[in-house]
Amino acid sequence: MAIEGIFYVHAHVSNLVGAKRFYGETSGWRLETDEPVVAGFWWFGTGYFVAIQDERAANDRRFAGGQCDPGASAISASPTPTATCGSTDSHAPEC
């Protein structure tokens, strides 16, 4: 069976206000769902991106599958450590 597309992707974020600003204002994605702990955006075609406020302590935000290195900070793990919050650089630190 061939993949025909992506319906939605979700991410846990530590700062939902910053995520809404980045994905909505900086990236230009249309904010469609705006709730206290979740924001949903149309980002291309029929694809939908859902950002969910992650209330866990920073040390508890660990995921399997190589999605992050819990021992590294966003800046030290970045190949461009001078990137600032809201940068279009995909390796910019969290907002």
67 lies in a domain? no
63 lies in a domain? no
Please check the confidence at residue 35 and state whether its pLDDT lies above 80: yes
68 lies in a domain? no
62 lies in a domain? no
Q: CATH number for the domain including 18?
A: 3.10.180.10
Q: What's the total number of domains in the chain?
A: 1
DSSP state of 56: S
In terms of phi and psi (left: phi > 0; alpha: psi -120 to 50; beta: otherwise), the region of 50 is beta
User: What token pair was written down for 2?
Assistant: 């061939």
Which of the pair, 82 or 49, is modelled with greater confidence? Answer: 49
61 lies in a domain? no
Please name which of 19, 7, 6, 90 lies closest in space to residue 51, comparing C-alpha atoms. 19
Which of the pair, 7 or 23, is modelled with greater confidence? Answer: 23
Amino acid at site 12: H
Taking the model in full, what pTM does it have? 0.57
Please give the Cα distance from 20 to 53 (Å, whole number). 11
Please name which of 41, 55, 46 lies closest in space to residue 10, comparing C-alpha atoms. 41
65 lies in a domain? no
Q: Which domain holds residue 50?
A: 1-56+73-95
DSSP state of 21: I
